[in-house]
Amino acid sequence: MGRTLKELIEVYRSDPDSPFRNLQFQVRVKQDRSLARIGREQGHHQLGSIKTRTLLAWHKAWASGGKIAVASDLMARLRAMFKFGFTMLDDQECYRLLELLKETRFRSLGPRLVPLTVEHVRSIRTLAREHFGWYSIALAQALQFELLLSQKDVIGEWVPIDEPGESDVVLSGHKWLRGLRWSDIDAHFILRHAVGSSGRPIEVDLRTAPMVLEELSVFINATAGGPLIRCDFPAGGPIVICDTNGLPWSTAEFRRTWRLVAKKAGVPDIVKNRDSVPGGTILAGTDRARISQPITLARIDHSLRTLRRRS
């Protein structure tokens, strides 16, 4: 008798060669919740009993109430597990199911036609500072939009202390990793940082990022447009910290707070903070800073896959 879906999930989670083990902490936590739901609702099924109609019925149930994004995520988790089962466990049922998923068309969200615009960003920054008093939200938004950085690359993330990576910011069994630090900025306001899960290096001349310069002027109470001097800023530590507790933001609280500001600014609910970086973007446009980064085939492929996921 072959494996059940629940048994495949358990192996996928625990096998030392599983790609699940190499995911970054927050991604792993999010995917683990999805895997738990699949196991709870459908884990009793034998892999050999799953047919095309089965997959369609699962997707329909998961998408009920307009939750198409949830259904798409759960199907992606199935696809990843079946690929692992075939390539690492030599399970022919996983190969069959992987082929079924390739040939089956599921309802998608369709293209997202409302981008995060320059006007949105300006309104978010102004309201964050002047209405809410959240200066760090304004700075983070400027950094994300002009430097084409993901939320995680700007604000970082809190992970359990036993996760890989060194940090001097530690609190209650957790440490802060990955976000922008003042030490990333040199005397000429050139920012160098490793971004993304691959640690891809980028170099940005902040003097070509007017929104960032405006927020940095606010940071030291300088006259907007006046020359900035590097020694007026901290030498080290996280750049974006919560205005109420002086610590790096948690991911959930940053997103909640950003949404409050965005709603006040009239940004449609369909527009997300992650839209600060257009899907598939490799190089900056006219509204972005001057960014130097290696352009490799892997980077181009990643950008194309990102664009397909968001379209």
Residues 99 and 127 in one domain: no
Say what percent of the chain tops pLDDT 70.
86
CA 157, 80, 77, 306 torsion: positive or negative?
positive
Residues 93 and 129 in one domain: no
- Where does a domain end: 103, 136, 171? 103
Residues 190 and 280 in one domain: yes
Name the residue range of residue 238's domain: 118-310
C-alpha angle 49-55-57 in degrees, rounded to nearest 5? 110
Q: 64-73, 123-132, 267-276, 283-292 — which is least confidently predicted?
A: 283-292
Domain count, the chain: 2
How far is residue 205 from each of residues 184, 226, 311, measured CA to CA in Å? 12, 17, 31
The predicted structure's pLDDT at residue 309: 46
The predicted structure's pLDDT at residue 224: 64
Q: How far apart are CA 173 and CA 160, in angstroms?
A: 6
The predicted structure's pLDDT at residue 279: 52
- At 285, is the pLDDT very low, low, confident or very high (cuts 50, 70, 90)? low
pLDDT surpasses 70 at 292 = no
- At 227, is the pLDDT very low, low, confident or very high (cuts 50, 70, 90)? confident
Other CB atoms within 10 A of residue 157 CB? 24
Q: What is the largest CA-CA distance in the chain?
A: 73
The predicted structure's pLDDT at residue 311: 44
Mean pLDDT in residue range 214-227: 84
For 307, what's the count of Cα atoms within 13 Å in the CB-facing half-sphere? 9
Mean pLDDT in residue range 115-127: 94
Stated pTM of the model: 0.76
The predicted structure's pLDDT at residue 289: 61
Tell me the three state secondary structure of residue 28: helix
The predicted structure's pLDDT at residue 210: 95
305's CB contacts (< 8 A; 6+ apart) are: none
What order of strands is seen across the sheet that includes strand 290-292? 190-195, 200-205, 290-292
Q: Which of 139, 250, 151, 258 is nearest to 196 (CA)?
A: 151
Residues 96 and 124 in one domain: no
pLDDT tens for 69-119 read: 899 999 999 999 999 999 999 999 999 999 999 999 887 765 555 788 999
For 209, what's the count of Cα atoms within 13 Å in the CB-facing half-sphere? 29
Q: Please indicate, yes or no, if residue 111 is contained in any of the structural domains.
A: no
Better-scored residue on pLDDT, 223 or 71: 71
Residues 301 and 259 in one domain: yes
Q: Please indicate, yes or no, if residue 58 is contained in any of the structural domains.
A: yes
The predicted structure's pLDDT at residue 190: 97
Tell me the three state secondary structure of residue 169: coil
Residues 36 and 96 in one domain: yes
The mean pLDDT value of the chain amounts to 88
Q: How far apart are CA 216 and CA 139, in angstroms?
A: 8
Mean pLDDT in residue range 164-190: 96
On whether the CB atoms of residues 44 and 63 are closer than 8 A, the answer is no
- At 298, is the pLDDT very low, low, confident or very high (cuts 50, 70, 90)? very low
The predicted structure's pLDDT at residue 225: 66
On whether the CB atoms of residues 258 and 154 are closer than 8 A, the answer is no
Residues 234 and 258 in one domain: yes
Match 């072959």 to its residue by tokens: 2
pLDDT tens for 1-52 read: 689 999 999 999 999 999 999 998 989 999 999 999 999 999 999 999 999 9
The predicted structure's pLDDT at residue 221: 87
pLDDT surpasses 60 at 310 = no
Residues 192 and 220 in one domain: yes
